[in-house]
């Protein structure tokens, strides 16, 4: 089975866990699950930690099961500053 994949865990709120929301790779069959997980994240964030989409790991596990969600890299890295990519904004 294809899984929903997050790059890594963010270093904040390590008990939750918080994940990088910059890239989320998932199969088309999980689109509705991801939308429902986003709604759950926004309306009832796990542990009351409201950090937007970074707190989507647990709601996505609730949608498709923990065996179908993977954090690719065990390292703690930030989404905005890391050694894999550089985020920029065009205005």
pTM of the model as a whole: 0.85
Q: What pLDDT score does 1 carry?
A: 56
With a pLDDT cut of 90, the percent of the chain lying above it is: 46
Q: How far apart are CA 6 and CA 24, in angstroms?
A: 5
Q: Domain segments of the chain: what residues?
A: 4-68
Query: What does DSSP assign to residue 24?
Result: E
Give which of 71, 89, 31, 79 is closest to 53, Cα–Cα: 79
Give which of 17, 34, 31 is closest to 71, Cα–Cα: 17
Q: What is the pLDDT of residues 37-81, one digit of tens each?
A: 999 999 999 999 998 888 999 999 999 999 999 999 888 988 888
């Amino acid at each position: 089975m294809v899984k929903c994949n997050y790059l890594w865990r963010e270093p904040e709120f390590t008990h939750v866990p918080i994940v990088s929301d910059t890239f989320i790779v998932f199969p088309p069959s999980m689109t509705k699950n991801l939308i429902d997980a986003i709604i759950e994240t926004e309306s009832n964030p796990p542990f009351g930690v409201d950090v937007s989409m970074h707190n989507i790991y647990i709601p996505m596990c609730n949608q498709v099961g923990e065996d179908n969600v993977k954090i690719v890299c065990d390292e703690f890295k930030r989404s905005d500053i890391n050694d894999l990519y550089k985020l920029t904004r065009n205005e």
